[in-house]
Homo-oligomer: A and B are copies of this chain.
Amino acid sequence: MLDCIIVGSGPAGISAALTLRANGKSFRLFGSSGLSEKISKAELIRNYPGLSNVTGQAFCQALQTQLQASEIAITEEKVSGVYALKGKFSVLTNEGGAYESKTVILACGVENIRPIDGEERFFGRGVSYCATCDGMLYKNKTIAVFCTTKRLEHEIAYLADLAKHVYLIPMYKDLSIARDNITVIRKMPTKLEGGMRITGLRFATPPLDGGSELLDIDGMFMLRESVSPAVLTGGLQTENGHVVVDRLQRTNLPGCFAAGDCTGRPYQYAKAIGEGNVAAHAVSEYLSENQ
């Protein structure tokens, strides 16, 4: 079993990985080979000590070189759930991967888009984050699909092939998917409604001409670059969308740590790498105390 699983390949995740490697711990780093879209698009970083006025591209390149030199590979799977079991963690991915570790470091960043009211409540009861995992459950049903990035359009296509009807709410401009059973809505929903399961999606004003403010749906897919840590990890304590951590980056779940933007402002590289480092040290301490 691995000592640690790191979720996220931004500065916090990379900093944690470098320190775990220096400390001789076994781990797996989940993320993307591009490391972080946010960094690579940064025009100029003016206050990262050691690298004067570096571009986001150059910073990304420096980190990639360093990962290679330290023989740290990135597992390019999208983590769909982190489950705290007795004395260990089980981490599942959208690609069907299942991994076990003694500790977890959540370094999954923050989405600028806030969760929709009811999203956490209905997770697993109509709300899904993974088309390939749960699509089959909605064969010939009516679903809503909320999508923040063009990069996930293939998941929309997959869902449209299965569902009877899809209400698509894209959060980006250059939409390039069109099907007979897709209705595009350019309004932000306000709330998910239902009892034990989702039954409807509410808007402030009718989303379709002549329609009601409430769309009847059987399920809702949230296709986002990253999933909120609270949704990813059941029982995790959050506050205003941020993971609550102490000075050692410990969350309320023993063995589960968090670092970087997901723990709150300031959203800064220096802060993220500092927290990744502290989290890695806290993991080592936790491992030696719980042998």
The answer to whether A50 touches B59, judged by C-beta atoms less than 8 angstroms apart, is yes
A110 within 8 A of B: no
Which one of B46, B53, B62, B276 contacts A270 once the chains associate, using CB atoms below 8 Å?
Answer: B276
Which one of B18, B54, B273 contacts A274 once the chains associate, using CB atoms below 8 Å?
Answer: B273
The answer to whether A277 touches B277, judged by C-beta atoms less than 8 angstroms apart, is no
A22 within 8 A of B: yes
With A11-B49, A69-B52, A69-B53: A271-B274 Cβ-Cβ less than 8 Å? yes
A86 within 8 A of B: no
Which one of B19, B47, B48, B69 contacts A50 once the chains associate, using CB atoms below 8 Å?
Answer: B48
The answer to whether B270 touches A277, judged by C-beta atoms less than 8 angstroms apart, is yes
With A50-B50, A51-B50: A271-B277 Cβ-Cβ less than 8 Å? yes
Alpha-carbon separation in the docked complex, A53 to B272 (Å): 20
Please tell me how many copies of the chain the complex holds: 2
Chain B residues with CB under 8 A of A281: 265-266, 268
- Kindly provide the distance from the CB of A280 to the nearest chain B CB, expressed in whole angstroms: 8
With A273-B270, A274-B270, A274-B275: A63-B46 Cβ-Cβ less than 8 Å? no
Q: How many residues of A contact B (CB 8 A)?
A: 40
The answer to whether B50 touches A62, judged by C-beta atoms less than 8 angstroms apart, is yes
Chain B residues with CB under 8 A of A274: 270-275, 277-278
- Kindly provide the distance from the CB of A133 to the nearest chain B CB, expressed in whole angstroms: 33
A251 within 8 A of B: no
The answer to whether B62 touches A51, judged by C-beta atoms less than 8 angstroms apart, is yes
What is the chain B residue whose CB lies nearest that of A23? B47
The answer to whether B63 touches A49, judged by C-beta atoms less than 8 angstroms apart, is yes
What is the chain B residue whose CB lies nearest that of A53? B69
Residue of A47, A69, A247 with most partner-chain B CB within 10 A: A47
The answer to whether A268 touches B264, judged by C-beta atoms less than 8 angstroms apart, is no
A205 within 8 A of B: no
Further 17 A-B residue pairs, CB within 8 A, beyond A273-B273, A274-B277: A14-B49, A15-B270, A21-B47, A22-B47, A49-B66, A49-B273, A50-B63, A51-B62, A52-B65, A52-B69, A53-B69, A246-B247, A266-B278, A266-B281, A268-B281, A273-B274, A274-B278
7 contacts between A and B (CB under 8 A): A11-B49, A18-B46, A48-B50, A50-B62, A52-B66, A52-B70, A268-B281
